[in-house]
Amino acid sequence: MKLRSPLLALCLAGIPLHAAQLMSAPVTVATPQESAGLVARLTALDAHQGLTNDYSFRISSQHPGITGQKITRAQHTYKGLRVFGSESVVVTNAAGDIVSVASSDRRPGIAPSATTPGAAPLAAPPTPADLTPTLTADDAIRAAVQDIAAGATHRWPPSAELLIYPVMKTIRASSAGDKPDDQLNALDVSEVVDRYALAYMVRLRMALDGKLVYYDVVVDARDGAIIAKWPTLQTVTGTGNSQYNGQVPINTTQTAGGFQMLDAARGTGGKYGGMAITNADHSSPNNPNPGSIYTNNSNTWGDGKQYSGGSTTSANGQTAAVNALWGLMNTYDTNKNVLGWQSLDGNNTATYIAAHVGTAYDNAFYDDSCKCMYIGDGNSFYSLGAIDVIGHEMSHGVTAATANLIYTGESGGLNESNSDIGGEMVEAYARNGDTGSSVPAAGNDWMMGKEISKSGQPLRWLYKPSKDGRSPDAWSSALKNLDVHYASGPNNRMFYFLSQGSKADTTGDYYSPYLTRTPAAMSGIGNDKAYRIWFKALTTKFTSSTNYADARNKVLQAAQELYGGTSKEAIAVQRAYAAINVGADIDEGGGGGDSGEAVERITNGGFENGSTGWRGTIRVIGAHSGQAPYEGTRYAWLGGNGRRSSETLTQRVQIPAAATSAQLSFALHIDTSETGSAIHDTMVVSLRAASGSTILATLATYTNLTPAEGYQIRSFDLLPFKGQQLTLSFAMREDRARQTSFVLDKVSLLTK
């Protein structure tokens, strides 16, 4: 008899797989007791892998997931200190059950995963022996200030957090050992820990000579050496009469003497109690003061013209504020109406924009210290309040509230790319009537900041980043060394291809030489689906240290969860990333005698018809107590016996000789009562000859060391086996004590 599972999986039967999913209403922040309970459950999962009480978790933030779910970000700690860039993203349902966990694990004493199946395990770097600092926090702040800007003044109080800082190095997969650097794919390399440093993370938010100097600095806690540093100011530069959009409706509040630019219908709390536009009135960019909310005697604002100097409250001075309010309203509405996401943090906390910062100030930036935005009037540029610029900066606020991508290297490039993506989607939504529950298919120009440019040249081209002369079109090993605004280029191009597709014209801007499969011009899935997939990955799977390879895997997972494991949307994600040299290209469809339509080769993959189509230990199929299905009511529960046992499920399948695509996928949940670091229980997924006797390929081996809360979608490319009749096999073995459950559902093999 099966044992009741100690770790509950979520039943997803009530969530339609292919329906548009909305984010929940603002979440209630967990009580200390609830947070402690979640930490205890995560720690128990660690214990199954043999980790000691030195390892724990610290809750850092919470925000909504899809309706009925909450996302909690739990930082990894070792002996009470946070491990920088190491964390888990935990999805829970309304009952508090864990749905899934996505992690970036850089903790001491944990060996990194091998880069390729079958490769020798990698050794863990030495665990820090002494975690006692020589320097104080004040010492570290002084060292950081001296290194960055000795004469600067602090705009916000500096801080210094003692932590464990993993110093990373790049290693190659064994299969890429002889590849020249310029031929490497992003999946050919991995970032692993080289050593650990006891360090202070110093946050400086300063000003000097009319400029903001925002830096994060990693200072060695023993000798004061600067280990790493990076700028953190998130800028766009690298019925009102708006400047860029004609007459637009803006939501204001009536007062005793007239009206003010306070939108009380969008957001609550914050500095002003609602979304607001304030008049910085040329306050110095060195230390900008947002000033007071814009007011006017009538409810007609602005003259639609570039600010020409003089009064910031005249009709001409109001135009920058109109630009800002319309942009802020549309950013809010795009995410709320399309995704259900409210304001920047998902919890509907109001923000504000301060217009007229400085004099002829050529910048706009988001400041997470106040969770607000500042806009300059421009000099080389026009006023920096264009719709895509505001969507860009406000999207930095979404990133800060969710993945909090570290603003350097590849993660910094993804941070900037998310803002470019957000800016384009807000522009598409706004230019098509700013209503509705989907992002329109067109309306944006795929060029960031074109309207603010006096030369007509945009800041960035999403479809062909290299047109600016600095941004690369594809991933390379040098990407992590670029300014984040340029490192965003490849992912911007990926998103363009995902939405709009590519072209086969080798001389055009929309061609990728990395798309080598059929057809050469990949198909896009449109703005709406592309944005939903990207946003789900950002908010529920990305960690602060996510790089391009990790992003590709997690965006693919998001597409599979939303639209299916072998869906056209999941295929488009793989092709779009392949188009920027991240992962291998795959065939899109066509051929096989089915006019490009996918054919399901698995019989009864959801087990709803009992054992139909399956052979082996068919008693494992059913609707047992103690586990939940991925969808429907039945599933296959291999293991969970707590005694020596073997269970197998097999099905014979045929992949047509003319197939151009063959994608296997299944949903798998693993939980265990085993402890320690030894492998006791396994499930092997393999392909055998039609007779079932000869193993042709082992696709994956799962063990008691790979438990995961909730179901995970697993997928494999079986096209190399086209023209063959095969036996798909799931074979489980348990040893003599302590159960491990391998719960299988939604098995699918789609061919085209």
Name residues whose C-beta falls within 8 Å of residue 446's C-beta, 6 or more positions apart in sequence: 424, 461, 462, 463, 496, 500
User: For residue 750, how far is the Cα from the chain centroid?
Assistant: 27
CA distances from 695 to 167, 602, 689, 705, 729 (A): 42, 19, 6, 24, 9
**27 in Cβ contact with 347 (< 8 Å):** yes
In DSSP notation, 180-225 reads -GGG--GGGEEEEEEEEEEEEEEEEEEEETTEEEEEEEEEETTT--
User: C-alpha angle with apex 62: 61 to 65, nearest 5 degrees?
Assistant: 140
CA dihedral 503, 432, 489, 572 (to 10 degrees): -50
Q: What is the C-alpha to C-alpha distance for residues 538 and 704, in angstroms, rounded to an integer?
A: 29
**219 in Cβ contact with 146 (< 8 Å):** no
**579 in Cβ contact with 515 (< 8 Å):** yes
Q: Looking at 282, 396, 485, 624, which residue is catalytic?
A: 485
**253 in Cβ contact with 263 (< 8 Å):** yes
Q: What is the C-alpha to C-alpha distance for residues 555 and 566, in angstroms, rounded to an integer?
A: 14
**164 in Cβ contact with 56 (< 8 Å):** no
**Is 485 known to be catalytic?**
yes
Q: What is the C-alpha to C-alpha distance for residues 380 and 452, in angstroms, rounded to an integer?
A: 9
Q: Looking at 48, 76, 356, 393, which residue is catalytic?
A: 393
User: For residue 67, how far is the Cα from the chain centroid?
Assistant: 18
> Which two three-digit tokens encode residue 80?
């009470």
Residue 204, beta-bridge partner list: 215
**308 in Cβ contact with 367 (< 8 Å):** no
Q: What is the C-alpha to C-alpha distance for residues 439 and 428, in angstroms, rounded to an integer?
A: 7
CA distances from 165 to 161, 229, 413 (A): 11, 12, 21
- Enumerate the active-site residues: 393, 485
